Amino acid sequence: MTQRIALSPQLRTLIEYTESSLGIEIILHRHADAPPSGILLDTYTYQTEKDVIAYSASLIGLLKDFVIALNVVRLLLRGTASKAGKYRVLSYEPEGVARGMGQIYLDILKDERTRSLPLVQKQRLPFYLYKLFHETLSDIPLEVMGHAFLATNIPAMRSAQLYYLVKESLRDMHELVEVKNFIPRRYFVMHNGMFYARDLFLAQIMSEYKLNPLINIPELQRFKNLDAKEMMTHRWSQSHWYYTKVVGDAMYASLTRSLPPYRPEYWNPARVLQLYENACVVANNFMALMQVSDWYTWASPDHLRSADEHQEEIEQVAASLVFGV
């Protein structure tokens, strides 16, 4: 490990285990422009020569250690899956992009809030939403498994983890609020439903009431004590947040049915690999519930890097298939 900062004993143990298990050296880098969640550049995903974790210069104390630890676990999951020959990422191809853009465009025309948008905006919005869901579906599953690992194996970081999650939840679930009237309601709901399910799932694992979205998210608090009959009234059925709860509850139920109970015994490659496979289950379940399974493809990191390098060309080919331009 390359670092010049003070780290907690628990974080040092996690880093040492990851380095010895994967046969690598982790480089920690303090950077003023790093996002609050940090940045992970690993050899398995990006073919970098070094495994680097950058964390924000504004982070201090146990919160800094937790952000580093979360990225170390992500690295551990990716590296373990790669060593087992099972590491795959969600990628995209012109045909899948065209299917996604075509469905999104139809939903734009169906939604009374978006059908009157200018034509240019209606043609640009589908690819933006397609990429937004690609990013979210790629990040949330590993994030859920990383949080589960830390919650069950390093309880000393629990207070920092809860603070981080509550703050991130508020940011994540309000990311699209400013544009909610410019995108079909279906996509606002599906996007926020994933974060709702994540928080409810982790609230159960951590036994933390504060993390429950019906407590943490102001717009969802109104549904905490409503029964089903009250929630079905016209007043609530027009709310983006009502549908977020309905979809989020379905996603959470899917997770609890599909994933095994968590126990603090994941400190070996077989258990870590199981966590990675659980992340794939989370992604597949979410895509199935949202009916977007044929939008994306599981492929090697090389495939995704190539797709990102040719993103403009792929968008043009997909747009020609959808719009005939």
- Asked if 285 and 258 touch (Cβ cutoff 8 Å), the reply is yes
From the first residue on, what is the mean pLDDT of each consecutive set of 10 residues in the chain (325 residues)?
76 95 94 92 92 92 95 97 97 97 96 90 95 97 94 92 95 94 94 96 91 92 73 67 91 88 74 93 95 96 96 95 84
Domain limits of the chain? 9-83, 90-323
Distance CA 305, CA 250 (A): 33
Cβ neighbors of 101 (< 8 A, separation 6 or more) are 126, 127, 130, 318, 319, 322
Torsions phi, psi for 2 (to 5 deg): -105, 115
- How many CB atoms are closer than 10 A to CB 78? 23
pLDDT of residue 224: 80
Please state, in angstroms and as integers, the Cα–Cα distance from residue 228 to each residue in 249, 251, 273, following that order. 13, 18, 40
pLDDT of residue 227: 67
Distance CA 41, CA 49 (A): 10
pLDDT of residue 232: 62
pLDDT of residue 230: 64
- How many CB atoms are closer than 10 A to CB 60? 9
Q: 26-31 and 51-56: which strand pairing?
A: parallel
Please state, in angstroms and as integers, the Cα–Cα distance from residue 230 to each residue in 56, 161, 177, 224, 253, following that order. 45, 35, 24, 11, 22
pLDDT of residue 112: 87
- Asked if 209 and 203 touch (Cβ cutoff 8 Å), the reply is yes
Place of tokens 């949330």: 140
Q: pTM of the predicted model, to two decimals?
A: 0.92
pLDDT of residue 35: 93
pLDDT of residue 90: 98
Closest CA to 45 of 121, 138, 132: 138
